[in-house]
Structure 1
Amino acid sequence: MSPNPPPTSLIPRAKLAVGALIATLFGQLLTGTAAAAPENTSRLAWQPCESPSSQGTFECATVKVPVDWKRPHGDTIDLALARHLATDPDKRIGSLLVNPGGPGGSGVSFALAAPDVFSPELLARFDIVGFDPRGVARSNPLKCDEDLINAQGELLFPDSAASFTALRAANRALGASCRELTGPLADHMDTGSVVRDMDAIRAGLGEQRISYYGVSYGTAIGQQYAERYPHRIRAMTLDSNMDHSLGNRDFQRTETDAVESSYGQFADWCARTTSCALHDRDARALFDSLHKRAEAGDIVLPGDPPQPVTPQDLQGLALSHMYEPASWFDFAQLLSDIDAADPAAAGAVRKYGEPTPYPFLSVMCQDYDLNVPSYSSLARIERELARRAPVTRFSTLGWTVQTGCQDWPAEVTNPQRRLHVDGTPPILMTNSRFDPATPYSWGSNAARQIGREAVLLTYDGVGHGDYWLSPCTRDAIDTYLTTLKTPRKGTHCPAVWPTDPSAQRRSPNGELINPLPDLVGTGTYR
């Protein structure tokens, strides 16, 4: 998702006295070569390190940043960084900062996976630099009480005033535990702080302008960096965009519409794909039937103990399988197995993820004011969403962000607002028409807010993370990042439909691996 700090001031361009230097810098930008670096290039102490796959040449480092940017001389934390060195140093453009989303995804792990997830063109021309945002993974991970995480998870779908009151108490207790176990950082997890951190990384890299690729929540970081530091950007690609301008109702409506329309694409694909396990059935009617049976408590999978399937289990499964269409063969079989109460389905229906360090809500609840005054108001929202989405009812992702932030003890320091971007180079934005997590309407609305600097490329398929879903989109991103040439405004890339269940997690041309499930999982913005 997205965040916010105070209005961002625009930093004026440095006035260069020597005309020849201006011409040199302008020529470098046109050819995609990095501008001359500032003097302070020794700030980051890089050391050799290895990736889990032992492929590529890597270095790791840390950079120190304030816990509270309003108190720059107060407590500090170390942010972890990793970079994959450009494979063609003679043609190196500069650093490409990357973020895989979440909130809670590891940029270090993203960079360490670079040989498997980015094209040879990007690997040749850039140092791929990933950082773990504050409170994430290797950067002073934000920790919360495991029992309280589970207790909150049981209450995220309240069905009465009493359960809504219990949820609020659980949220307060969980948020307090995060503060107690982590310290002051728990109150400074907003994206505005991450933006300041990223500029500290830019300075540490010794670069006047950076290139950036952010996906999902990583687009929130990029959007707000462009607001605050427009003249420190060489190129920026924002893939699967957040929209930080939405109030609670529009937030829920757009999330719900996205899951419903994505599931509709799955149902249509299944109807025309003979190898789909539900090819001879109406996948919409089946899901509706399963949802009603789950509401009545009539779906129990065999096991010890037997495993009831809740409506939220079904909705969560639908959401997670819409991220990556290559998983649709498995999803169709899973729905068929649940319908038959087949023991094979039991392992795939999990109530909650494994308890882990828990930065997600600490970011979201400081970036979004999603307060609902009462259970009756929440119930009205739920009924409205069910009318909008008669098959899937609502987005479990959007819903649990809303319910999980009720009475969260940290202040909303970066509340929703429209973007105000001025003075950046062209920003390439991409969005799938049927993205279940960051809806197409978010990408188009964010592009309108950015204005003339934005070029929106539409992928006409389903899924999240266009770079790995569409060779057409990937080629456009690679071309832009290396040459600064954007596609024409209004360009569309054709949908790519799954044809082979063995291709799961692989990009359509089989070369790259989609890293997002491993880096941030589902049930986040990734």
Structure 2
Amino acid sequence: MRKLAALLLGLAIPLSCLTPVAAATTRAAEPGTTIAESAISWTPCPEDPAVECGTLAVPIDWKRPASGTFDVAVARRRATDPAARIGALALGAGGPGGSGVNLVLTGPTLLSPEILRRFDVVGLDPRGTNRSHPVVCSTDLMTQAPDPIMRSQADFDRRLAYNERLRADCRARTGPLFDHVDSLSTVADLDAFRAALGEERLSFYGGSYGTLLGQQYAERHPQRVRAFTLDSTMDHSLDTQGFMETEAWGAQDAFNEFTAWCDRDSRCLQHGEDVRAFWRALLARADRGELRDPERPDLEVTAFTLIQAAVRHFYNPAAWRPLSQLLADLDSGRATREGALSVPADGTPEVSPYPLQIFCLDFRLPVRDYREYGRHLRRMTKVAPDMRYSPLSIAPVVTCLGQPDPIPNPQHRLKVRTSTPVLVVNSKHDPATVYPWATSTTRQLGRSGRLLTYEGWGHIAYGKGACVTEAVDSYLISQTLPARGASCPAVPPAEARTIQDLLTALPGTPGWTLPM
């Protein structure tokens, strides 16, 4: 079944920000030269001359550095007060598929003036994304992906066959880098970047999937860690069942918070109604094939698409009101701009970015057959009776089915031993990087970790009120940790201003948002 010819509320990586690439550049490293000795030729960025852009040549395969190199895109925004400069603050982009270069370019809108005064803000586009030789695949083939909600062993076999065809296409178009875009390789890239900058230690702020880069850098290079913040953290210790059930829990928890808002706030168009019954009726209509996109009546809205759209709106409580409008529009069949389900795709390029390959090399989440897949679906429905499941777990698990073993960066429990504890920050009601991931990651960090809980809603905590922002800034600047068990109060949805607002509007800088 062909998918909607549209981007579904930011859940697909934007296509327009990338230049098609045929194959990875393979250059032999010069004899006697190491990556750490390579100079970066800085030039003003075309988007903002106040920011410096450059490239850093790194091995395609760090285990075989003589086999060839490619260029990683990097950026630097110098501290506004050189006399007060502490060092370099590296930004870890979300996704997978986010752009660290874009985060540096938009630094003044994301970071506090004091952070910009005290740090050189630096970032890289992770290998296989954006300006760092993106993994690309046939757009036409990507649109042919089978429904991720499988109903038989035949569906399961069809998905395995499709995944194999897609991997072969992506590998042929991308080149040898396709098999080396795991986060551990990006950790090595980041350390090469640190050395090229001449920094003994790094400070780090990573959001969403970017927290995996921070975790694994701290694990591999603890002596290089000055102050690391993991905002809305991944948990790289989960197996298939744990990953799928915790994501389902997060979707249900976010739905519970949305319905509670509807019960108390007249801005919700379902205020005074039984919101759960209303939602289940919409899902039942979608199951019967009776639900249509109000903007495109010829397009059927499946239950998966409806759940996917709701989860996307849960990323920010400021989107609760538009979600209630969307649900009202779907129910009535009338279209409003505020409640639009889809937006037209901007042309049809021959190739499209495929950053999910990063996830497939970072997480081994096997499912043997349809029977096991069906058991996962049933367990998730018990955990999330209203939401059924989270597309943020279904999509990557299904898309990575058949990924050849071994992968370069399989899950394990963290073993971090840093002199300064790593700061973990997470919203209590995050639909994507769920709160149980934050508590689990903090336990794994042990004495090398400290958790700050934001008692509110949404994805990415920094910027949600003065409490979180000042606590993170204080840690990054003076290495002062919040007290154990510290939390920050929720900011009412109408007042929330978050990094996520801006990330979702930037090409190539999504948070924990996976394409199918």
TM-score of the pair, normalised by structure 2: 0.88
Bigger mean CA offset, 56-65 vs 457-466: 56-65
Q: Is the 8 A contact 1:301 1:345 kept in 2?
A: no
- Any idea what SS the aligned residue of 2:493 has? coil
What RMSD over aligned residues (CA atoms) do the two structures have, in Å?
Answer: 2.3
Structure 2: gaps (5+ residues): 1-35
Following superposition, the deviation at residue 307 of structure 1 comes to 2.2
Following superposition, the deviation at residue 416 of structure 1 comes to 1.0
Q: What residue number does 2:51 align with?
A: 58
Q: Is the 8 A contact 1:100 1:217 kept in 2?
A: yes
Q: Is 1:87 matched with 2:80?
A: yes
Q: Is the 8 A contact 2:294 2:330 kept in 1?
A: no
Q: Deviations over 1:306-352 (max 9, x none)?
A: 22211011110111011111111111111111111213379832499
Q: Is 1:366 matched with 2:358?
A: no
Following superposition, the deviation at residue 293 of structure 1 comes to 1.3
> Given the alignment, which residue of 304, 308, 311 partners 1:319?
311
Following superposition, the deviation at residue 227 of structure 1 comes to 0.5
Q: How far apart, CA to CA, are the structure 2 residues paired with 1:180 and 1:473?
A: 45
Following superposition, the deviation at residue 521 of structure 1 comes to 3.7
Q: What residue number does 2:480 align with?
A: 485
Q: What residue number does 2:40 align with?
A: 44
Q: How far apart, CA to CA, are the structure 2 residues paired with 1:253 and 1:264?
A: 16
- Any idea what SS the aligned residue of 2:481 has? coil
Q: What residue number does 1:25 align with?
A: none
Q: Deviations over 1:121-172 (max 9, x none)?
A: 11111111111010110011111111121112x3322122111111111111
Q: What residue number does 1:129 align with?
A: 122
Q: Is 1:465 matched with 2:460?
A: yes
> Given the alignment, which residue of 154, 161, 170 partners 2:153?
161
Q: Is the 8 A contact 1:192 1:224 kept in 2?
A: yes
- Any idea what SS the aligned residue of 2:98 has? coil
Q: How far apart, CA to CA, are the structure 1 residues paired with 2:166 and 2:342?
A: 21
Q: Is the 8 A contact 2:126 2:132 kept in 1?
A: yes
> Given the alignment, which residue of 394, 400, 414 partners 2:409?
414
Q: How far apart, CA to CA, are the structure 1 residues paired with 2:391 and 2:501?
A: 26
Q: What residue number does 1:340 align with?
A: 332
Q: Deviations over 1:468-493 (max 9, x none)?
A: 33331111111111111011111011
Following superposition, the deviation at residue 381 of structure 1 comes to 1.0
Q: Is 1:524 matched with 2:505?
A: no
Q: Deviations over 1:57-93 (max 9, x none)?
A: 2111111110000011221010001111111111111
Following superposition, the deviation at residue 410 of structure 1 comes to 7.2
Q: How many residues align?
A: 476
Q: Is the 8 A contact 1:189 1:362 kept in 2?
A: yes
Q: Deviations over 1:262-303 (max 9, x none)?
A: 111111012111222222222222211111111111223456
Q: Deviations over 1:13-34 (max 9, x none)?
A: xxxxxxxxxxxxxxxxxxxxxx
- After superposition, the Cα gap between the structure-2 partners of 1:233 and 1:353, relative to the gap in structure 1 and judged at 3 Å, is farther
Q: What residue number does 1:423 align with?
A: 418
Code of the aligned partner of 1:258: G
Q: Is 1:449 matched with 2:437?
A: no
Q: Is the 8 A contact 2:76 2:122 kept in 1?
A: yes
Q: How far apart, CA to CA, are the structure 1 residues paired with 2:339 and 2:328?
A: 14
Code of the aligned partner of 1:220: L
Code of the aligned partner of 2:509: V
Q: Deviations over 1:32-61 (max 9, x none)?
A: xxxxxxxx898222112243xx4x721111
Q: What residue number does 1:117 align with?
A: 110
Q: What residue number does 1:349 align with?
A: 341
- After superposition, the Cα gap between the structure-2 partners of 1:321 and 1:86, relative to the gap in structure 1 and judged at 3 Å, is same
Q: Deviations over 1:403-462 (max 9, x none)?
A: 111113574221111111113411111011111111111011011101101010001111
Q: How far apart, CA to CA, are the structure 2 residues paired with 1:388 and 1:338?
A: 26
Q: How far apart, CA to CA, are the structure 2 residues paired with 1:426 and 1:346?
A: 43
- Any idea what SS the aligned residue of 2:136 has? coil
> Given the alignment, which residue of 361, 371, 384 partners 1:376?
371
Q: How far apart, CA to CA, are the structure 1 residues paired with 2:446 and 2:414?
A: 9
Q: Deviations over 1:166-187 (max 9, x none)?
A: 1111111111111000111000
- Any idea what SS the aligned residue of 1:306 has? strand
Q: What residue number does 1:299 align with?
A: 291
Q: Is the 8 A contact 2:80 2:118 kept in 1?
A: yes
- After superposition, the Cα gap between the structure-2 partners of 1:93 and 1:327, relative to the gap in structure 1 and judged at 3 Å, is same
- Any idea what SS the aligned residue of 2:336 has? helix
> Given the alignment, which residue of 154, 165, 174 partners 1:173?
165
- Any idea what SS the aligned residue of 2:463 has? helix
Q: Is the 8 A contact 2:138 2:170 kept in 1?
A: yes
> Given the alignment, which residue of 237, 245, 255 partners 2:229?
237
Following superposition, the deviation at residue 110 of structure 1 comes to 0.9
Q: How far apart, CA to CA, are the structure 2 residues paired with 1:450 and 1:523?
A: 22
Q: How far apart, CA to CA, are the structure 2 residues paired with 1:265 and 1:347?
A: 20
Bigger mean CA offset, 357-366 vs 215-224: 357-366
Following superposition, the deviation at residue 216 of structure 1 comes to 0.6
Q: How far apart, CA to CA, are the structure 2 residues paired with 1:348 and 1:332?
A: 11
Q: How far apart, CA to CA, are the structure 2 residues paired with 1:89 and 1:359?
A: 39
Q: What residue number does 1:31 align with?
A: none
Q: How far apart, CA to CA, are the structure 1 residues paired with 2:205 and 2:514?
A: 16
Q: How far apart, CA to CA, are the structure 1 residues paired with 2:197 and 2:493?
A: 41
> Given the alignment, which residue of 268, 275, 283 partners 2:267?
275
Q: What residue number does 1:30 align with?
A: none
Q: Is the 8 A contact 1:287 1:392 kept in 2?
A: no
Following superposition, the deviation at residue 304 of structure 1 comes to 6.0
- Any idea what SS the aligned residue of 1:202 has? helix
- After superposition, the Cα gap between the structure-2 partners of 1:412 and 1:470, relative to the gap in structure 1 and judged at 3 Å, is farther
